[in-house]
Amino acid sequence: MVIVFISSEANAQSLRGVVNSGVDLYRQKKYADSEANFKKGTEKAPDNFNSYFNLGDAQYKQERYDEAVKSYQQALKKTQDKLQQAGIYHNIGNSLIKSQKIEESIGAYKKALKLNPKDAQTKYNLSYALNLLKQNQNNQNKNNKDNKQNKDNKQNQNKDQNKQDQNKDQKDKNKQDQN
């Protein structure tokens, strides 16, 4: 029984060392190295919230947003703390918006605000995402309108060309009749 206690204590210190080393590397902007440490942390303690959360942060900094979302989702499963969950949803929203998944990011920001309604940064990011979505929809509508106008113009050009062809055919026929 004592050996198990010492072993688990040694494992906890080892985990702390790996995670702390990862944090130090992250602060030095050595994101790939910090990611490796955080992955070791998830292997040593699969239920450890900090390892998954920090892993997501390291992946985000390397612009691997889909992987970051997966790590954040794992972190979400490891905590019942509402503020931690809000922070995770905030980061998921940031990762999704960087991946141009604007509608999904809006959903993540809304979940974050349900858990922490006073978070000014999340409110700002939600507002930004909503404006971006509106802007994209306006651009899409403009493109659709332009495409329709171009299609209408082509149809009119085709009609004009057909009329010209018919007029030419008629003139040619009239010339032949005169000869």
The parent domain of residue 39 ranges over: 7-79
Tell me what the mean pLDDT of segment 147-159 comes to.
61
- What's the mean pLDDT in 126-148? 84
CA distance 91 to 84: 11
175 pLDDT exceeds 80?
no
Asked whether residue 60 falls in the same domain as residue 86, the answer is no
Number of domains within the chain? 2
56 and 13 within one domain: yes
Rounded (5°) CA angle 78-76-87: 120
Report how far residue 36's alpha carbon sits from residue 56's, in angstroms, rounded to the nearest whole number.
Answer: 12
**pLDDT (tens digit, 9 = 90+) per residue, 92-114?**
999 999 999 999 999 999 999 99
| CATH value at residue 22 | 1.25.40.10
Q: Are residues 72 and 84 in the same domain?
A: no
Confidence of residue 176 (pLDDT cuts 50, 70, 90): low
pTM: 0.74
Q: Is residue 110 part of a domain?
A: yes
Residues 72, 97, single domain; the answer is: no
Q: Is the dihedral of CA 113, 116, 117, 118 positive or negative?
A: negative
